[in-house]
Amino acid sequence: MNLSQTITPELRQWIIDQAANGVAAPTLIDGMRASGWNEDVAVAAVEQVLRTHLDKVAQEQGLPAALPVPDPDIADSPLFIDVGDRQVEVLMAMANPRVVLFGNLLSPEECQAIIDAAGPRMARSLTVQTATGGQEVNQDRTSDGMFFQRGETPVVALLERRIAHLVNWPLENGEGLQVLHYRPGAEYKPHYDYFEPDQPGTPSILQRGGQRVATLVIYLNNPPKGGGTTFPDVPLEVGPRQGNAVFFSYERPHPSTRTLHGGAPVTEGEKWIATKWLREREFK
């Protein structure tokens, strides 16, 4: 379908004007269908015109450009996604911010294998010191952690293959899996996972694969109380259930993505998670 030939300047302006007047996309598409447009072409035209227009407005307002992001195939509301060796459940999905909760990404045995392999290597978590690009101990993040190399153990490798299938993103664009352990009282205060564009340390971080564009927080055990992943701008709290994973993406390194998120304090027991950050390009 060659949309650029189909969308006349008049149609483009009509779509933008209607949207600016508060007409929702489905209503616009209904209107186009009523005047003889094929539904698929109408959907694609509205999507392309509005995306291009919103990008232009965002750039005029000084926002960073939008990047392509990973996304699961859930437009037709499937109950499961086949990731090659497993049926992963789709438990909840939200468009803005893009948040999808998955179930059954890992079995309890696979979760335990990751905890066992990570355990001896755990050390107090550091955060990126954005001023320099170095790492520092931070009171906002009172967990212990470690990083695996990509593909370092058989379970890590199978998890990475599942994630690549699940969100349609090259395995090579993933950072090494991080495992975090929160003791009672430990938390991760709300933050964004992208790198702040204006910080002096950011250019050197971006050399290894560009921006982070999405995160999966994968729950490895069942903390009895607390330890949810919170999204204060929504607001939303995801319970940390073993084998489940919460996915969220951010198409630009900006708070307008509404992806501020944190790890709530663990109030009883302990919490183990694995975090997978996905970059724009191959992470070297």
**Contact residues for ligand PD2, defined by CB under 6 A:** 180, 188, 193, 215, 217, 229, 261-263, 273, 275
* Phi and psi torsions of 225, nearest 5°: -145, 140
Choices 186-194, 195-203, 240-248, 249-257; region in contact with Zn ion by CB under 5 A: 186-194
Residue closer to ligand PD2 by CB (options 158, 216) is 216
Closest approach, Cβ 39 to ligand PD2, in A, equals 39
Residue closer to ligand PD2 by CB (options 86, 261) is 261
Closest approach, Cβ 48 to ligand PD2, in A, equals 33
Tokens of 17: 């004007």
DSSP sequence for 9-70: HHHHHHHHHHHHTT--HHHHHHHHHHTT--HHHHHHHHHHHHHHHHHHHHHHTTPPPP----
Residue closer to Zn ion by CB (options 30, 140) is 140
Q: Which of Zn ion, ligand PD2, none interacts with 229 (beta carbon under 5 to 8 A by kind)?
A: ligand PD2
3-state secondary structure of 182: strand
Among 144, 160, 187, 193, contact with Zn ion (rule: CB under 5 A)? 193
Closest CA to 175 of 274, 67, 68: 274
| CA end-to-end distance (rounded Å), the chain | 36
Q: Which of Zn ion, ligand PD2, none interacts with 262 (beta carbon under 5 to 8 A by kind)?
A: ligand PD2
- Using Cβ positions, the residue closest to ligand PD2 within the complex turns out to be 263
Q: Does the footprint of Zn ion cover residue 175 (CB under 5 A)?
A: no
Closest CA to 253 of 283, 277, 227: 277
Closest approach, Cβ 74 to ligand PD2, in A, equals 22
3-state secondary structure of 158: helix
Residue closer to Zn ion by CB (options 209, 262) is 262
Tokens of 75: 């437009």
Closest approach, Cβ 227 to ligand PD2, in A, equals 7
Closest approach, Cβ 54 to ligand PD2, in A, equals 27
In contact, 199 and 170? CB cutoff 8 Å? no
Q: Which of ligand PD2, Zn ion, none interacts with 217 (beta carbon under 5 to 8 A by kind)?
A: ligand PD2
Closest approach, Cβ 230 to ligand PD2, in A, equals 8
Alpha-carbon distance of 274 to 171, in angstroms, equals: 16
| Structure-token match 């944190």, residue found | 262
Binding site for Zn ion (CB under 5 A): 193
